[in-house]
Amino acid sequence: MVCRLWTTDYRLLTTKTMKRETLITPPSGTIVTLDELKNHLKITHDYEDAELAIYLQAAEESCQSFTGLQGMKATYARFFDEWCTRLVFWDRNPVLEVESVEYMPSGSTTYTTLPTAYWQTELNASPAAVVIKNMPSLESHPEAVKITFTCGYSDSAVPADQRAAVPGILKNAILLQAGHWYMYRTDYAQKELTPASINLLTPLKVAWV
């Protein structure tokens, strides 16, 4: 069985999904800075900064969700109710490291670390995956399996270095989308990505199998 590790893509809900995701270490900033967005829009005043930050965050989240990518480094834990032979990261790519695979043994709700000899990673694949080679018996629990992983384009601790590693196409799409929502504030304009953003992002999308 192949289990897919994603969060929000409605097109994939016909197959097994994870139960929950917890953010352990949040990104140290946004892919595009507020100053970069203001420069893109030729805005010199400060009284709309809070609103611009909202548009910027929404654009970044939407563009990452559409592509299955994670720009700035972050660490997450994801939970499953059963073992799968291959756990595929359909979002949050690229995956930098899988720190641990843990499970609740049968009869216990306390996590035990699965030995590294029992699993291996495919981090260079698109999408990345964890292959489980040995599956101990599990407690019947919605979060019986826990995967902790770090994702993003750079493992650097410096936000500027992380931003520099993000593809320019993704940055451009975020700027265009945030600018669109700033300029057109109707309900209809807020519903989806613009055609220009989609055209930019489509080549970056993680392959669907």
Mean pLDDT of 104-124: 96
Q: Quick one: pLDDT at residue 88? A: 84
Cis peptide before 94 (omega within 30 of 0): yes
Token pair 């057109």 is found at 184
Number of H helices, E strands in the chain: 5, 9
Q: Quick one: pLDDT at residue 13? A: 31
What are the CA-CA distances from residue 77 to residues 18, 92, 143, 145 (Å)? 11, 12, 11, 10
The pTM for the full model equals: 0.84
Q: How confident is the model at residue 191 (pLDDT cuts 50, 70, 90)?
A: low
CB 37 within 8 A of CB 179: yes
| Residue 17 pLDDT greater than 70, yes or no | no
Q: Residue 141 corresponds to which amino acid?
A: H
Mean pLDDT score of the chain, rounded to an integer?
A: 88
Q: What is the largest CA-CA distance in the chain?
A: 61
Assigned token pair, 48: 């709309």
E strand or H helix that includes residue 78: strand 74-80
> In angstroms, rounded to a whole number, what is the distance separating the alpha carbons of residues 93 and 71?
8
